[in-house]
Amino acid sequence: MQSITLKVEGMSCNHCVNAVEGAVKKLGATGKVDLNAGLVTVEYDESKVTVDAIKAAIEDQGYDVVS
Protein backbone atom coordinates (compact mmCIF):
# COMPACT_ATOMS: atom_id res chain seq x y z
CA MET A 1 0.00 0.00 0.00
CA GLN A 2 1.06 3.52 -0.77
CA SER A 3 -0.01 6.78 0.76
CA ILE A 4 -0.13 10.22 -0.82
CA THR A 5 -1.33 13.56 0.49
CA LEU A 6 -2.80 15.96 -2.05
CA LYS A 7 -3.51 19.66 -1.67
CA VAL A 8 -7.04 20.26 -2.93
CA GLU A 9 -8.80 23.60 -3.35
CA GLY A 10 -12.53 24.21 -3.13
CA MET A 11 -13.58 21.80 -0.41
CA SER A 12 -15.81 23.86 1.87
CA CYS A 13 -18.16 21.62 3.84
CA ASN A 14 -18.98 18.10 4.91
CA HIS A 15 -20.79 17.47 1.64
CA CYS A 16 -17.50 18.14 -0.10
CA VAL A 17 -15.74 15.73 2.25
CA ASN A 18 -18.27 13.05 1.36
CA ALA A 19 -17.97 13.75 -2.36
CA VAL A 20 -14.18 13.50 -2.35
CA GLU A 21 -13.92 10.52 -0.02
CA GLY A 22 -16.68 8.76 -1.97
CA ALA A 23 -14.96 9.31 -5.30
CA VAL A 24 -11.70 7.91 -3.93
CA LYS A 25 -13.52 4.93 -2.44
CA LYS A 26 -15.03 4.09 -5.82
CA LEU A 27 -11.48 3.56 -7.07
CA GLY A 28 -10.90 0.99 -4.33
CA ALA A 29 -8.72 3.36 -2.31
CA THR A 30 -9.28 5.10 1.02
CA GLY A 31 -9.35 8.89 1.23
CA LYS A 32 -9.39 11.06 4.34
CA VAL A 33 -10.07 14.76 4.01
CA ASP A 34 -8.70 17.42 6.34
CA LEU A 35 -11.16 20.19 5.53
CA ASN A 36 -9.40 22.98 7.44
CA ALA A 37 -6.03 22.22 5.86
CA GLY A 38 -7.44 21.48 2.40
CA LEU A 39 -5.64 18.16 2.29
CA VAL A 40 -6.69 14.71 1.12
CA THR A 41 -4.64 11.75 2.27
CA VAL A 42 -5.18 8.65 0.17
CA GLU A 43 -4.05 5.12 0.84
CA TYR A 44 -4.04 3.00 -2.27
CA ASP A 45 -2.70 -0.17 -3.82
CA GLU A 46 -0.26 0.97 -6.48
CA SER A 47 -0.82 -2.24 -8.45
CA LYS A 48 -4.51 -1.32 -8.85
CA VAL A 49 -4.81 2.45 -9.01
CA THR A 50 -2.61 5.31 -10.15
CA VAL A 51 -2.10 8.71 -8.61
CA ASP A 52 -3.35 10.23 -11.85
CA ALA A 53 -6.63 8.31 -11.50
CA ILE A 54 -7.00 9.54 -7.91
CA LYS A 55 -6.39 13.14 -8.96
CA ALA A 56 -8.85 12.79 -11.84
CA ALA A 57 -11.54 11.36 -9.58
CA ILE A 58 -11.21 14.32 -7.19
CA GLU A 59 -11.21 16.84 -10.03
CA ASP A 60 -14.29 15.18 -11.53
CA GLN A 61 -16.09 16.18 -8.34
CA GLY A 62 -15.34 19.81 -9.13
CA TYR A 63 -12.22 20.45 -7.03
CA ASP A 64 -8.72 21.49 -8.02
CA VAL A 65 -5.78 19.28 -7.08
CA VAL A 66 -2.97 21.81 -6.79
CA SER A 67 -0.14 19.60 -5.56
Interface residues with a second copy (CB under 8 A)?
A: 10, 12-16, 19, 62
CB of residue 5 to a second copy, shortest distance in Å:
22
3-state helix, strand, coil in the chain (%, to 5): 35, 30, 35
CB of residue 40 to a second copy, shortest distance in Å:
16
CB of residue 12 to a second copy, shortest distance in Å:
4
Of the pair 10, 30, the CB lying nearest a second copy is at: 10
Q: Can you tell me the distance from the alpha carbon of 6 to that of 21, in angstroms, rounded to the nearest whole number?
A: 13
Cα end-to-end span (Å), the chain = 20
